[in-house]
Amino acid sequence: MDVGAGPSPDGHPLALRFLSLRDRLAGTAFHVLGDRQEAREAVQEAFLRCWRSRASTNGVRDLDAWVFSAVLNAARDLRRRSAVRRAEPLPTEEAMQPTSLEPGPAALAERREALARVRFAIGALPEAEREVFLLRENGDLTFEAIASLLHVPVGTAKTRMRAALRRIREALAPPDPLYAERRTLQ
Domain ranges of the chain: 1-92, 103-173
Domain 103-173 coded CATH 1.10.287.610: no
pLDDT tens string 24-75: 999 999 988 888 899 999 999 999 998 888 887 777 788 888 899 999 999 9
pLDDT tens string 131-171: 999 999 888 889 999 999 899 999 999 999 999 999 999 98
Which residues, including other chains, have CB under 8 Å from residue 158's CB and lie 6 or more apart?
143
Separation of alpha carbons 39 and 72, rounded Å: 10
- The Cα angle at residue 132 between residues 129 and 134, in degrees rounded to 5: 105
CATH number at 1-92: 1.10.1740
pLDDT tens string 107-138: 778 888 888 888 889 989 999 999 999 999 88
